[in-house]
Copies of this chain bind each other. A is one copy, B any other.
Amino acid sequence: MLTLKALAERFGLPYRGDPGTPVHGIGTLANAGPGQLAFLANGKYAGQLADTKASVVVLSEAEADACPCACLISANPYTSFALISVLFDDGDDLPTGVHPTAVIAASAAVAPGARIGPYTVVGERAVIAAGAQLHAHTHVGTDCVVGEDCVLMPKVTLVKRVRLGRRVRVHSGAVLGADGFGIAFHDGHWTKIAQLGGVAIGDDCEIGANTTIDRGAIEDTVLENDVRLDNQIQIGHNVRIGAHTAIAGCVAVAGSTRIGRWCLIGGAAGIVGHIEIGDRITVGAMSLVTHSLREPGEYASGTPIQPKGEWRRNAARFARLDAMARELNTLKKSRD
């Protein structure tokens, strides 16, 4: 059983309250009960502090006086909560060893200490490093490498020439290394361009459920270290994403685009192909990026959500906005 004092010491945080307060789980400010730890990081929820039934709250010094129970004080309560939360994760480790139903190619190399679940398939010349976990129904195709301590959740597919660094976590349904979308029109029909590259994923990346990352046409599609992708993201062939960039769900990045480091891409945004996005750039949800962005900062596109009648009238005006601007210019000139 963890106690307030044990948590305070482990994470180097000052605390208030009975050092022996037991903490056996996590709850929200609104619904936590005795023995649970909650956190307050978003001012929006500050009103819930007074009535919390949590035993311990992680919060900033400014909120500590208003806390009705024991607390841990942090300059960054959200991050402190993140670090504490993993102590309460029950994990889901496979047993060490290879499930008897796994189909592993003779030329594949599986390290002792890897954990391979039922109905997994490991292809020719694939390498599975020590500590890696392949959950049920995962497919590690030809010439793929799964680095140390990677976790492939059920039904992950690495198609071909996909190399994962260490501690990469890939969620169910993700497909890495499928053919990039390369076609050329020839003689009245489409002809396919062979996709001869691979996918290279750095250390500590996370890839969300049903996300797709195509392999490169000639060279590799690359994610540098510590890139975090949410669910249902599409990364086209030969894209390169810089270290520490985080991308929210349903974003589409077209081929050969480069995204810098420490970028934050909002949900369902689109980024066209063959452009460059610099470091420390934030793109708003559902924005479409049609040209390179080099200056750090926040960018957005789109129009506000409105009641449909209002929106329809405004949208109709947009359709002749250029004419309207020219009329305005004429008026200005006539006045001058």
Contacts and interface: CB of A to CB of B under 8 A. Distances in A.
B306 A85 contact: no
Interface of A: 25-28, 31, 42, 44, 76, 78-79, 81-83, 85-86, 88-89, 92, 99, 101, 103, 117-119, 121, 136-137, 139, 141-142, 153-155, 157, 159-160, 169, 171-173, 175, 178-179, 181-186, 188-196, 204, 206, 208-210, 212, 214, 217-219, 226, 228, 230-232, 234, 236, 244, 246, 248-250, 252, 254, 267-268, 270, 272, 274, 282-291, 293, 295, 297-308, 310-322, 324-325, 327-328, 331-332, 334-335
Given A31-B219, A178-B231, A300 B293 contact: no
A217 to B, nearest CB: 8
Contacts of A83: 186, 191
Contacts of A136: 103, 121, 139
Given A157-B155, A181-B248, A246-B190, A313 B322 contact: yes
23 contacts: A26-B218, A76-B186, A82-B193, A85-B194, A92-B142, A119-B119, A139-B172, A154-B157, A175-B210, A181-B249, A183-B206, A189-B244, A250-B252, A283-B305, A284-B311, A297-B308, A300-B306, A300-B312, A301-B302, A314-B320, A317-B321, A324-B328, A334-B335
Contacts of A27: 218-219
A204 to B, nearest CB: 7
A180 to B, nearest CB: 9
B304 A316 contact: yes
B299 A302 contact: no
A314 B304 contact: no
A124 B212 CA distance: 29
Contact of A185 (B79, B214, B300, B310): B79
